[in-house]
Amino acid sequence: MTITSNLKNAVIYLRTWIKLIIILLAGLAIIGFIVFVVYKPMYSVSLNGKFIGYTEDKIKLQKKINNYLTSGDSKTVAFVEVDNYPEFDLCLLKKGLVANDDEIFKTVVGSGVPYYKYYSILDKGEEKYYVSSFEEAENIVQTLKDKKSQNQNDITYVPKYETTLKEFTDKDTVVSKLYIEMPLVKNTNVSTKKVISNSSSSLGISLIRPVSGAISSRFGSRSRGLHTGLDIATSKGTPIKAASAGTVVRARYTGSYGYMVVIAHTENVQTFYAHCSKIYVTEGQNVAQGDIIAAVGSTGNSTGPHLHLEIRVNGEARDPQYYLYNNTN
């Protein structure tokens, strides 16, 4: 054995190995190429262990599903409660297999319980109608205020999250069903029976005179339509006192009454102070007997500064002179 022959053998040995490696690599490349041409990586999607479809873009589909589950459709569906999320398994699949992201989406969101968001229109706290959007609900309440509906302060709305969808009523229908014309001082539709009450039953509360002055129009007079209150003429700015303790249920401009304060004294008895020039109280405020609540004025349907005082029992106007101003001015 010589050094030369040893070297020769080593070279042959090495060449053989290099050839083998090249063949192996070429083989792998061919297999890889075939795989690349025939197959593609996709995600097999399953829900609760059941196969529901394939997707190529796992991130995009997951995002779409999660968005819907947490935020709904930005219309009626608020969110969807699901027991399980879908599982995604990466696999190589034959090309030509179509991804069905839409079906997967529908299956997943369809497996949950949708919570609908809508608005309930309440009359004195009782659910009356349902509308789909906040804008509609707000619009209904505002329209009734603009139209000076008698029940404008009773109509409210609340958002609802429910698993069952209610039948919606369109805005105009709700407004027309809820609207109640405000009984005006001039309104002769108010029946005489209702207005002229001969009941002298006690109100169950003590009353003091809100202002002093000359009586300019009596209850039941027909000088400017049927009169539901008592007019006491006095100068503009004269402080008006609360006739009795109670809660202010209205303190705002109210059509022909002008700036008006209404105080609820008991569940049944209310006093109205109309045509004020200024209001010093706010709705919801509690007042004591004798508190200054407003100033005399001539706002609304009025020809000169005076206090139009009404006493109502269960909404029925009573003659204030049964209780006050019955002797002198």
For binding to Zn ion (CB under 5 A), which residues are involved? 229, 231, 308
Q: Which residues lie below 8 Å from residue 17, measured CB to CB, with a gap of 6+? A: none
Q: Find out whether 304 and 296 touch, Cβ atoms under 8 Å.
A: no
Between 308 and 312, name the residue whose CB sits nearer to Zn ion. Answer: 308
Give me the half-sphere count of Cα atoms (radius 13 Å) on the Cβ side of residue 112.
23
Contact (CB, 8 A) for 264 and 312? no
Please list, residue by residue across 95-133, b when 16 or more beta carbons sit within 10 angstroms of its beta carbon and e when fewer do.
eeeebebeebbebbbeeeebbbbbbbbbeeeeeebbbbe
In the complex, the smallest distance separating the C-beta of residue 185 from Zn ion, rounded to whole angstroms, is 6
Q: Which strand (E) or helix (H) includes residue 237?
A: none
Closest to Zn ion by CB, 108 vs 232, is 232
Amino acid at the residue 44:
S
C-beta nearest to Zn ion: residue? 308
Least distance (Å) between residue 326 CB and Zn ion = 17
Residue 229 or 246: which CB sits closer to Zn ion? 229
Minimum separation from the CB atom of position 227 to Zn ion (A): 6
CB-nearer residue toward Zn ion: 101 or 231:
231
Question: What percent helix, strand, coil does the chain show, rounded to 5?
Answer: 30, 35, 40
Q: Which is nearer to Zn ion, 53 or 320 (CB)?
A: 320
Q: From the CB of 191, what's the least distance to Zn ion, in Å?
A: 18
Token code pair at residue 252:
């705002």
Quote the least distance from Cβ 118 to Zn ion, whole Å.
43
Least separation in angstroms between CB 214 and Zn ion? 13
Nearest alpha carbon to residue 297 among 238, 254, 246: 238
Beta carbon nearer to Zn ion, 117 or 308: 308
